Structure 1
Amino acid sequence: MSVILVFLLVIAGIAGWWLSHQRLMSKPWLEQGSVAAYPGTESGMMPTAKIGLGVFLAVVGCLFALFASAYFMRMELADWRALPVPRLLWFNTGVLVASSVALHMAVVAARRNEIETTRLALVTGGLTALAFLAGQLMAWRELSASGYFLNANPANSFFYLLTAMHGLHIAGGLVALGRTTARAWSGARRDQLRLSVELCAMYWHFLLFIWLAIFVLIAGWATDFIDICRQLLT
């Protein structure tokens, strides 16, 4: 449960940092003059699309936190048998990191109005994300070939559930990324393209964080960390 609390505290900290930059305590009805007279007013206000995505990601984060909580509670029972972690997951993790880096490069290029670099980074991010999904399917086939089926053990069921849910979110993100890439090639307005790229990168970085948390969970490192903390506290 301590891991879940830490996860929720991280989300709360990020939300608090964002709210602190939104000028919630300002009194616009008392301010006079043009917007330019108040430095940081425009840059401090986040676009509605980003706010909506932030709320959605908070909900998704709570969903995976509940899955993790159920994982920890279920593994305490006697019929739990942890399955081996396929080595392919290490490669898949590296591919997803590369995809997130590519999206970050796309954001930097879009802000600099470097359209060619933005297009290349978007395509690279999409292709590496597809490679990640393909690698996840190969890991599933490898486990199935070794006899680790979905209904054979609760640990197996949780592994397939967590990876499938994460993969579905990646697939959904690819739809948005595809639309953003199409905008980059069709000559969309620079401000609209920049916002779309930033939204995709924001989503991708979040999914990378979720995957790293899942990887730590299924590899058993989270349990080891909890045991160490318990030993230190006692």
Structure 2
Amino acid sequence: MNLAMAGSQRRASFTGLYAFLVSVTMFFAAFTSAMVVRRGASDDWKGVPAPSLLWVNTGVLAVSSVLAEKARRVLRAGDRRRHFNLWWTGATLLGAMFVAGQIMVWRYLHRHGVYLNTTPGSAFFFVGTIAHAVHLGGGWLAMLYLNIRAFRLELGPGRRTAIDVATIYWHFLGILWLYLLWLFRFWGN
């Protein structure tokens, strides 16, 4: 592949990523608007108690993002194998831990009588966190795919672009998660 074609593919990858990030942002902006309007529409709003595991999950996702960035920088510096694989595998495993932790939060809430249809507040909490988990699951699958490719030593320029795109998306999901936590704490309770 020549450099002009590689540069063109890289630009196309980032254009696609940014278009997708805008659409996800718009989805969660609409979600926020609906939540704020619904909360103010009547007096039946009850917030969802925030289990402490939510904060643990937040830390897990933050460390995962740091490890993904470390892997990306190590790869950019020319280390294509051991160090990259270590950091990227750690980020991928922590991503899976975050999703497992979210499932534990949902189960905890169910055990305490909080369901999707319990109150408008619980409906928004479950829809928001599940929507985030679905987006995160897509990013995690991309990370897993790239992890497999890395262990097979298939890290050419195209893979490096994919790693850059996946890492940026992962950071975006971390920021989105912090926003959702703020939203549920500030507007949800």
Contact 2:67–2:88, Cα closer than 8 Å, also in 1: yes
* Uncovered stretches (5+) of structure 2, i.e. residues with no partner: 1-5
**Structure 1 partner of 2:19:** 55
Secondary structure of the 2:154 match is: coil
Higher Cα Rg, which structure: 1
Tell me how far apart the structure 2 counterparts of residues 223 and 163 of structure 1 sit (CA, whole Å).
Answer: 13
**Bigger RCO (CA 8 Å, 6+ sep):** 2
Is 1:67 the counterpart of 2:31? The answer is yes
**Structure 1 partner of 2:85:** 119
Runs of 4+ in 1 over 3 A off after TM superposition: none
Contact 1:110–1:197, Cα closer than 8 Å, also in 2: no
Residue pairs, 1:2-13, within 5 angstroms = none
Contact 1:113–1:190, Cα closer than 8 Å, also in 2: no
Contact 2:68–2:167, Cα closer than 8 Å, also in 1: yes
Secondary structure of the 1:75 match is: helix
**Structure 2 partner of 1:79:** 44
Tell me how far apart the structure 1 counterparts of residues 84 and 140 of structure 2 sit (CA, whole Å).
Answer: 16
Taking structure 2 as the reference length, the TM-score comes to 0.90
CA deviation after TM superposition for structure 1 residue 55, in Å: 0.5
Contact 1:217–1:223, Cα closer than 8 Å, also in 2: yes
Deviations 1:4-31 (A, max 9, x none): xxxxxxxxxxxxxxxxxxxxxxxxxxxx
Tell me how far apart the structure 1 counterparts of residues 148 and 169 of structure 2 sit (CA, whole Å).
Answer: 18
CA deviation after TM superposition for structure 1 residue 223, in Å: 7.7
Contact 1:82–1:155, Cα closer than 8 Å, also in 2: yes
Residue pairs, 1:1-234, within 5 angstroms = 47-76=11-40, 77-115=42-80, 116-220=82-186
CA deviation after TM superposition for structure 1 residue 51, in Å: 1.0
Tell me how far apart the structure 1 counterparts of residues 160 and 171 of structure 2 sit (CA, whole Å).
Answer: 16
Deviations 1:90-139 (A, max 9, x none): 00000000111011011101101212111111111110001000110111
Contact 1:110–1:193, Cα closer than 8 Å, also in 2: no
1:156/1:113 CA distance change after superposition, 3 Å: same
Taking structure 1 as the reference length, the TM-score comes to 0.73
Contact 1:103–1:121, Cα closer than 8 Å, also in 2: yes
Tell me how far apart the structure 1 counterparts of residues 22 and 140 of structure 2 sit (CA, whole Å).
Answer: 19
Tell me how far apart the structure 2 counterparts of residues 97 and 190 of structure 1 sit (CA, whole Å).
Answer: 28
CA deviation after TM superposition for structure 1 residue 60, in Å: 0.4
Contact 2:121–2:188, Cα closer than 8 Å, also in 1: no
Tell me how far apart the structure 1 counterparts of residues 103 and 188 of structure 2 sit (CA, whole Å).
Answer: 26
RMSD (CA atoms): 2.0
User: How many matched pairs?
Assistant: 182
Tell me how far apart the structure 2 counterparts of residues 114 and 194 of structure 1 sit (CA, whole Å).
Answer: 12
1:223/1:134 CA distance change after superposition, 3 Å: closer
Tell me how far apart the structure 2 counterparts of residues 150 and 191 of structure 1 sit (CA, whole Å).
Answer: 44
Letter in 2 for 1:66: A
Letter in 2 for 1:48: A
CA deviation after TM superposition for structure 1 residue 85, in Å: 1.0
CA deviation after TM superposition for structure 1 residue 199, in Å: 0.9
Identity of aligned residues (%): 34
* Uncovered stretches (5+) of structure 1, i.e. residues with no partner: 1-41, 225-234
Tell me how far apart the structure 1 counterparts of residues 155 and 47 of structure 2 sit (CA, whole Å).
Answer: 51
